[in-house]
Amino acid sequence: MSQQMETPAGSSERNSLALAYAAVVLPGLLAAFALWAGWRSSGNIALSLIAAAAVLVIVAAYIAWRGFLIPNPQDYYGGLALIALCLFAFWASSDLPGMRGFSFGPGTAPRLFAIVLMAFGIAITAMGVLTNGKPLERYAVRGPFWITVSIFIFALTVRQAGLVFATFASFVVSGLGSAETRWIETIIAGVVMTAFSVLLFVYLLNLPFQLWPRF
């Protein structure tokens, strides 16, 4: 009986220890990837990636100095996830040309969005380290699954079906990720987001996106 009572406590202790080590290992791995991608890049992209690696190393060292304690793990790991997404965006767009005088190149928009998202990711990670918050909860699969499906739908349909259909369809499909989705509001928001995407990418950035399906 006593052995059965000790098992849940031991399992909880092992989970806490694993999370403590992950708090240092994850920013270390992201820093290594940022250094590798920065070494393979050039110009401002390389500088941005190396600066991100330096910030991640500082975060990992600070967590280790605090004794692997994270007062707000939800914000901490959420911020790291945003930083990881930005590092991938920088690396994936490193071969695309950027600004040419006053005209935007195909790599300008992804990098601008990545810079803004990186700033949010660093701020959220800092909040996870410096403020108190809720512990990690159980991971829900439904939301990330349908978001991933919507991304694949956009990638597979944007060339043949056009930007209008791909944007609207992917936005509506992403609404399946929540049981609280209100479909009338979702459809209205999808129309607004589609119009904004067309205005931004086609008319403001002059990117060669096809708007309507090819028949």
CA dist 98 and 92 (Å) reads 13
CA distance 11 to 66: 23
**Residue/partner pairs of 110-115 with CB below 8 Å, 24 or more apart:** 111/45, 113/89, 114/86, 114/89, 114/90, 115/48, 115/86
Give the tens place of pLDDT for each residue, 186-209.
999 999 999 998 898 888 878 788
Q: Which two tokens stand for residue 113?
A: 């969005």
Residue 2's pLDDT is what?
44
Confidence of residue 118 (pLDDT cuts 50, 70, 90): confident
What is the rounded average pLDDT of the residues 20-38? 83
Q: Per residue in 162-188, pLDDT tens?
A: 889 999 999 999 999 888 888 899 999
Separation of alpha carbons 80 and 73, rounded Å = 10
* Full DSSP string of 175-187: GGG-TT--HHHHH
CB neighbourhood size of 27 (10 A): 27
**pTM score of the predicted model:** 0.59
